[in-house]
Amino acid sequence: MRPPCGIAAVVGCLLMGLVHNAHSVRIKDVARFMGARSNALVGYGLVIGLNGTGDNNKTQFTTSTLANFLDRMGIHVDPDSVKVKNVAAVMVTAKLPPFARNGTKLDVQVSSIGDAKSLEGGTLLMTTLQGPDGQVYAVAQGPVSTGGFSASGASGSSVQKNHPTVGFISQGAVVEREFSVSLEDLNRLDLVLNTPDFSTADQTARQINLALGGPYARAVDGATIQLDVPPSYRSDVVSLMSQVEALEIRPDTAAKVVINERTGTIVLGENVRISPVAVAHGNLTVQISERPAVSQPLPFSQGRTVVTPQSTVQVQEGKGSINVVGGGATIGEVIKGLNAIGATPRDIITILQAIKAAGALHAELEII
């Protein structure tokens, strides 16, 4: 009976399964048509109704904004005399999707920019959201949901869940102006790959030409495929875009190894290869233990009873050996070779870095 697989072995089995079950993907999942994209919106506003967790009185832009708002409502106050803790200044952000029409509702995120402790229970006042061109495209307002909380006691102890200074309003904004994107009478469409690659761009153009029955598409670089609209689709460009997005291709990717040292996560691409290389794998364990000892002076002496720590240091070195990792023809063989030397995922991170330095890892090594 074989022993149970370790973490690295499980990852290897999973990766091998992904490679063997690799299949085609739709063009719409790896590319987009130029112009059909979302646009960022941003605005500045106030959140009111906080239970004493708003901005401090020293946050001048909050009091000035509140005074200006009250002035527009016909109530004249001196900004220097405004002292409230249930108001917080925030930045409101949202994304305007392509082809959004007037009246479309958007989700918005509300983030404190002052020294507020929490936005829990607050309500966002009417806030205009502007695009990169400075024009107002949406208006946001509504109750803020933080999904977290923060509480503190008089002694200074506190407890916090998530980030109470960042909130969310589901469908809290209404589109008031549209981005004009017209698809009528177009003679050419540009298809942009999410991950530029010359092989994928060429394959995409060939697949489109095969489906349309003519040389309508061509790859102009590693990210862009130009598509001439056939005469039969001039009055129905949406139908052409729908058919192109539904076509399936097998995207090609560069050999890459992505490592996250903070979490010990390793992701190896399908095309990663390792030349035959010898690896010595071992470990050194140092254990330090502290045990307090009481020193008691003799009777009638002038000494004092003190506690003295006694340290015990133990050093244990694991048995290391030189193992040969054979040249990997597939990602599964690469993982199998690394597992053969008994390496954990965190050990593999160091081993892969050393193999890359030795010139035996034929892939880009990216550390995040």
The three-class DSSP label of residue 76 is coil
The pLDDT mean for the chain works out to 79
Please indicate whether residue 126 or residue 368 has the higher confidence score (pLDDT): 126
Asked if residue 209 lies in contact with residue 243, where contact means CB atoms within 8 angstroms, the answer is: no
Asked if residue 332 lies in contact with residue 16, where contact means CB atoms within 8 angstroms, the answer is: yes
Please indicate whether residue 81 or residue 307 has the higher confidence score (pLDDT): 81
70 to 16, 75, 126, 144, 257: CA distances (angstroms): 64, 5, 13, 21, 57
CA distance 85 to 55: 6
State pLDDT tens for residues 130-188: 998 899 999 999 999 987 655 555 555 556 566 789 999 999 999 998 876 667 767 88
CA distance 117 to 299: 58
State pLDDT tens for residues 336-349: 666 766 667 777 78
252 to 19, 63, 249, 310: CA distances (angstroms): 13, 56, 9, 61
State pLDDT tens for residues 14-34: 444 444 444 789 999 999 988
- The CB density around residue 333, as the number of other CB atoms within 10 Å, is 17
The backbone torsions φ and ψ at residue 237, rounded to the nearest 5 degrees and listed phi first, read -70, -35
Asked if residue 120 lies in contact with residue 112, where contact means CB atoms within 8 angstroms, the answer is: no
- The CB density around residue 332, as the number of other CB atoms within 10 Å, is 17
CA distance 337 to 339: 5
Position 2 scores a pLDDT of 40
State pLDDT tens for residues 72-128: 888 888 877 778 889 999 999 999 988 888 999 999 999 999 899 899 989 999 999
pTM: predicted TM-score of the whole model, two decimal places: 0.61
Tokens of 221: 């670089």
Asked if residue 122 lies in contact with residue 144, where contact means CB atoms within 8 angstroms, the answer is: yes
